[in-house]
Structure 1
């Protein structure tokens, strides 16, 4: 089996080399390069074979969100934001620009490994903390949908909007004056239409228009 080729971009050399050591200890991965900023990451991805680009958010010269946009548009590498900051101001932009995952560095190595493998397999990975930050960032504002409204009923769109704001099924049921069972049925219908598998993906899809 071919190894998954990983680029690591982080301006902190300790973290950069630490991640390289951790990922290289798994036979699934080959860390092809470590770089210090987004500009170097883009340049490498444009000229070499890279499967997954792990990008820190805060880097000099060019940050991880800007690099995500260019890598997603110009290369075949899949960008994954890996950061110590759960920065709410960056999250929606990173998703909008094509990030396939958003992970915090304080995860166990096994969780980071599994997330990279999942993204490589075509999935998107977003932690629950990211949903919480999206909810905080939106506040009382109505989230701006990026989906094709023709694909969904009015009630499905309402439920997706409330999921994007971080509401639970119980809270959605109370808001819309319907039963929790009915909410669950609508969510099942949304899963069926989109191929998504969990609530975080519905929120990301509603806000970005991207299923993968």
Structure 2
């Protein structure tokens, strides 16, 4: 199956470079290159791509607001691209529905990998961004009690969410819980479905914001 991609960046050379890297892949097709957030939202609406690469700083409508509009109105998954990796941008982009967050100095192989991973329904963060996100949440005071929304989870699903919040992979969670990876995938799917979450990144956010993980517990 061909992964259809929209690339949005207000710098023509940058977006053309990303598009060229992706379009030569046998399983990826760049269906549109656009220069601002409004054009990005329109392109997603018209062309129904699988993935949109969005620069954060764009005229008329920034990448975060474009991401929010795309996530609310379509199944298209978004990857944010920026030269800025501040906690504010990471936090806002993930809450807007982004499934990936990469810096513009990303290697070409990592860019291609990110598009494939996100198109497959997973989530991906640049390592430096992931560290900042965890630091942001672990620096906050923990909520006194877990959120009531977690009541829908079984005890094992709650354990799975806790381990997701600590950044463990399915294989690591399987080893921790002494179960198979297939069982872990089932638990992860149940957690996402019951809590109405799009992917693992939102599960991490939920684990921290609900108070399930307290400051310093991610290590």
How far did residue 8 of structure 1 move?
A: 0.5
Out of 54-63 and 135-144, give the one that drifted further.
135-144
> Which whole-Å deviations, capped at 9, do the CAs of 1:142-173 have from their partners, x for residues lacking one?
367778321265xx67x939956x8x9xxxxx
How far did residue 116 of structure 1 move?
A: 0.7
Q: Which residue of 1 aligns with 2:47?
A: 48
Question: Residue 207 and residue 40 in structure 1: after superposition, are their counterparts in 2 closer, same or farther (change >3 A)?
Answer: farther
| Structure 1 consecutive aligned stretches of length 4 or more whose deviation exceeds 6 Å | 144-147, 188-192
Out of 34-43 and 89-98, give the one that drifted further.
89-98
> Which whole-Å deviations, capped at 9, do the CAs of 1:42-81 have from their partners, x for residues lacking one?
0111122211100011112111111111001112311111
Partner SS, residue 148 of structure 1: helix
Q: Which residue of 2 aligns with 1:125?
A: 124
Could you list the runs of 5+ residues in structure 1 that have no partner in the other structure? 169-183
How far did residue 138 of structure 1 move?
A: 3.8
Q: Which residue of 2 aligns with 1:160?
A: 162
Cα distance in 2, alignment partners of residues 89 and 190 from structure 1: 32
How far did residue 110 of structure 1 move?
A: 1.2
Question: Residue 81 and residue 98 in structure 1: after superposition, are their counterparts in 2 closer, same or farther (change >3 A)?
Answer: same
Out of 43-52 and 125-134, give the one that drifted further.
125-134
How many correspondences in the alignment? 191
Question: Residue 42 and residue 185 in structure 1: after superposition, are their counterparts in 2 closer, same or farther (change >3 A)?
Answer: same
How far did residue 131 of structure 1 move?
A: 2.4
Kindly indicate whether the alpha-carbon contact (under 8 Å) linking 2:165 and 2:205 is maintained by their aligned counterparts in 1: no
**1:74-85 map, 5 Å:** 74-85=73-84
**1:188-207 map, 5 Å:** 193-195=187-189, 203-207=204-208
Kindly indicate whether the alpha-carbon contact (under 8 Å) linking 1:54 and 1:82 is maintained by their aligned counterparts in 2: yes
Could you list the runs of 5+ residues in structure 2 that have no partner in the other structure? 169-175, 192-199, 211-219
> Which whole-Å deviations, capped at 9, do the CAs of 1:87-131 have from their partners, x for residues lacking one?
210212221221111122222211111111111111111233222
Q: Which residue of 1 aligns with 2:72?
A: 73
Q: Which residue of 2 aligns with 1:8?
A: 7
